[in-house]
Amino acid sequence: MRIGEPARAKVNLTLSILGRRGDGYHELESLVAFARSSDTVIVEPEGDDRLTVSGPFAECITGENLLAKAVRLLRDAAPHLRIGSVHLDKKLPVAAGLGGGSADAAALLRAVRRANEDRAGEIPWLEIATQLGADVPVCFADHPAVIRGRGENMTLIPAFPLMHAVLVNPRVPLPTASVFAALKAGPAFSTVQATALPPLSDVARLLDYMRARGNDLEDAAVRLVPEIAEIKAALAAQAGCLCAAMSGSGPTCFAVFPTSAHARHGATTIAASRPEWWIECTVLEGAP
């Protein structure tokens, strides 16, 4: 039995940094959506206990693969779980501001849950997700949400409109820690108030919300990878572009278009002039 689970790219449509907390982490508020573009995690419960990786960005993974840590935490929580072999098809850029490693780990948790439906209720899935990283819980939910705190506090968006989009990455990795260090944020207030969330069920309101908030990490990221400004300008210059912004800590940028035809034309036009960039025409949407 093979269980495949998509690890959809996480796109931060907004990102507000509210200051550095006493524990060293940053207080944030971010509207997160997911793209159809994804890595794929495959679990074979009857296979050997091994982890393999393939795909165009497989060799870009440095250090310990977060999937290995996820397997260890799962075995510690429940040694009886059927996990077997794990394979990752790595199609998304690494250190790209798309939550790739977090999405992969979350997809593994979902795949193992499917492989162990008879015992799924015994496993603290969200607790394990939180131990794996601040982005893993929302990636595990795999649903648009506003995340707060370190990212562990989630408010799911019940109705989220489909948006045609283009993702562009310069194929330059940008570690999140480097961007936060360059930001040099001041201390967070101890009584940060959650922003009231307006209805976001139609594209016009969603775009207004996105434009009003932006991404507080963008300036710091551009200082580290100047190509980000070039990518954002190239996206904004495309016919029909409704909004262009950086996702997460970068360097991937995204643009929203009114139709799939506009998005395809924009992606094709940029690819013709910058073939060295990773360019993906996709859709941002609600639950898969």
DSSP class of residue 113? H
Q: Which of 78, 76, 66 is nearest to 106 (CA)?
A: 66
232 belongs to the catalytic site: no
Q: Which of 43, 36, 153 is nearest to 98 (CA)?
A: 36
* Alpha-carbon span 235 to 17, nearest angstrom: 24
* Alpha-carbon span 275 to 234, nearest angstrom: 13
Q: Three-state DSSP class for 160?
A: coil
DSSP class of residue 287? -
Residues 243/211, Cβ–Cβ less than 8 Å: yes
Catalytically annotated residue among 10, 90, 91, 232: 10
91 belongs to the catalytic site: no
Residues 41/88, Cβ–Cβ less than 8 Å: yes
The type of residue at 94 is: V
Q: Calculate helix-pair angle for 66-77, 125-132, nearest 10 degrees.
A: 150
Calculate the CA 171 to chain-centre distance: 16
* Alpha-carbon span 177 to 188, nearest angstrom: 18
Catalytically annotated residue among 39, 104, 135, 216: 135
Q: Which residues are catalytic?
A: 10, 135
